[in-house]
Homo-oligomer: A and B are copies of this chain.
Amino acid sequence: MNNETSNPASQPSAIADTSSIVDGLAQLSYVIQSVLGRSGAVYDLSPIQLRLLGILRDREPSMKQLAERLELDKSSITGLIDRAERRHLVERIPSPEDRRGFHVRLTPDGRRIAREIGGEIERRIGELVGVLTEAERGQLALLALKVAEVRKV
């Protein structure tokens, strides 16, 4: 959620005040998404297209694997890849071990754009975390990855 008063009774909860971290993380995620969105917009990429490129940088997943990773319906992946393919960002590769399936791969164009956007994002995020000290940045990176890793299990 978005504000301070998430704890209705506002009793200083015995264990810990969870509402503070909830707000902090929610706010932070909106800010990050906004930065990513603006970075993608420079190359006329929607948030989901941007995320797709990010995933494909070091993988050639099947349509199904993409659906799982993106938590989207398989039919949504069809459309997503159709549009990306139309823009020559990715291509479908017939799967050698399953004649029903495809793997999705960045085209050279897609890889170039992914690299360029990567730089764009790095600059903008760098600017954003400029308010932190070097030590704080390290800490934040560590904690962020630690939390994000949970999902991968």
Contacts and interface: CB of A to CB of B under 8 A. Distances in A.
A114 B2 CA distance: 10
A24 B115 CA distance: 18
B57 A3 contact: yes
Contacts of A42: none
**Main DSSP-derived SS at the A contact region:** helix
Contacts of A28: 25, 28-29, 32, 144-145, 147-148
A126 to B, nearest CB: 5
Contacts of A125: 18, 21-22, 25-26
Interface in A40-90: 51, 53-55, 57-58, 71
A9 B112 CA distance: 14
A27 B5 CA distance: 27
Contacts of A128: 147, 150-151
A137 B29 contact: no
Nearest to A37: B71
A24 B121 CA distance: 13
Given A1-B118, A32-B25, A117-B1, A131 B150 contact: yes
B132 A146 contact: yes
A137 B16 contact: yes
Most-contacted residue by chain B among A33, A53, A122, A131 (CB, 10 A): A122
Contact of A122 (B3, B19, B71): B19
